[in-house]
Amino acid sequence: MIGDPALETLVLPLETGQIDLAEGARVLFMRARAGLGLSVFDGFQLTCEQSFAPDRDALQAAGRTVVPEADGGDFDAVFVLPSRQRQEARAQLARAAARVRSGGVVAACAPNAEGAKTLESDFTALMGGCGKLVKNKCRAVWQTVEASSMNASLIGDWQALDAARAVMDGAFHSRPGLFAWDRVDPATALLIRHLPDTLSGRGADLGAGFGVLAKGLLDKAAKVASLDLYEAEKRGLDLAEKNLAAYRDRMTLTGIWSDVTRGIDGPYDFIVTNPPFHQTGSTGRTDIGQGFIRAAADGLRPGGVLFLVANRHLPYEHTLKDLFASADMVADEGGYKVIRAVKGKGKR
């Protein structure tokens, strides 16, 4: 199993006794991830909170109880692996503080390269102090929570930081932490411009986010009979369904909270997608986009069409040519490319 330095550093204070919890303690792990470090929680009543489908799936495979959002409070301890987006991360810390009992412990951790010093500063401002441990190029912080030491006004203010809100002059509702949460990203805009208005039948949007691409598609193509929205982040999917609710009067719209790379339903007449793209150091990851392409090839009917947008330098053409009868670039602009690929008639 690939190591997870942030997870392993987060649980170190519990392993070493710097955080002391009674056997059977109620523990909430927000933005939980599976990994070897998770075994430290054996012997506690652990609830894992995770709204991102790939991490949810990994936690469930490890036999853990997973919910998209935990109810209630009075946990003996809350552990957090905060988001990189600062507004969302502050909201997560505030939610953790609100869900732990008086005398309980809140702990958080971030990699040094992803805002660890900022996390320590925010954590200290909210909790009134912190213990600190630096290891594995990460920083873990923790504090016993008492009403007298917490900044109560910050808890309320910060919990509201990632609340859903109207963006783009009210055209959408979104929230911090989602991809391009308050704008139309240029790749999606380019794809929308090159989608034909003749698309019809049953379609899917892979990686639907909060619904920007789907809205652009449905505004152009009046003959779409149904559209399945696949999205790994439930926080985004819930908003996509809200943002697109008006289209339900003319067609069937279904939200699917899932990891696209594990496969999709079908058969579809068409698929549109702007696959996620992440950087690891200076090297671009291509495996997620290639997983989306494979899922699309399996999910399309013979003769079905895929419209994909990607960063120009991503080498998706080889995978497309292996899986589709044709794959043609229909746009190359602003560092992005739009590709139209057709599934062969003999493909199953």
- The one-digit pLDDT tens for each residue of the chain (348 residues) are 448 999 999 999 999 999 999 999 999 999 999 998 999 999 999 999 999 999 999 999 999 999 999 988 899 999 999 999 999 999 999 999 999 999 999 999 999 999 999 999 999 999 999 999 999 999 999 999 998 889 999 999 999 999 999 999 999 999 999 999 999 999 999 999 999 999 999 999 999 999 999 999 999 999 999 999 999 999 999 999 999 999 999 999 999 999 999 999 999 999 999 999 754 333 456 799 999 999 999 999 999 999 999 999 999 999 999 999 999 999 999 999 999 999 998 655
User: Which CATH number belongs to the domain containing residue 97 in this structure?
Assistant: 3.40.50.150
Query: Does a structural domain hold residue 200?
Result: yes
Quote the number of domains for the chain: 2
| 159, 186, 207 - which closes a domain | 159
Record the tokens describing residue 81, joined without a space: 């692996």
Residue 141 and residue 228 share a domain: no
User: Angle at which helices 212-220 and 186-193 pack, to 10 degrees?
Assistant: 20
Query: Does a structural domain hold residue 347?
Result: no
Q: What CA–CA distances, in Å, run from 345 to 15, 162, 270, 324?
A: 58, 46, 14, 10
Residue 179 and residue 150 share a domain: no
Residues spanned by the domain of 269: 165-342
Residue 131 and residue 94 share a domain: yes
Query: Does a structural domain hold residue 132?
Result: yes
Q: What CA–CA distances, in Å, run from 310 to 14, 172, 204, 274, 339?
A: 43, 23, 17, 6, 8
Residue 175 and residue 106 share a domain: no
Residue 123 and residue 188 share a domain: no
Query: Does a structural domain hold residue 301?
Result: yes
Residue 209 and residue 72 share a domain: no
| 102, 135, 159 - which closes a domain | 159
Residue 253 and residue 108 share a domain: no
Query: Does a structural domain hold residue 278?
Result: yes
| 159, 174, 190 - which closes a domain | 159
Q: What is the pTM of this model?
A: 0.94
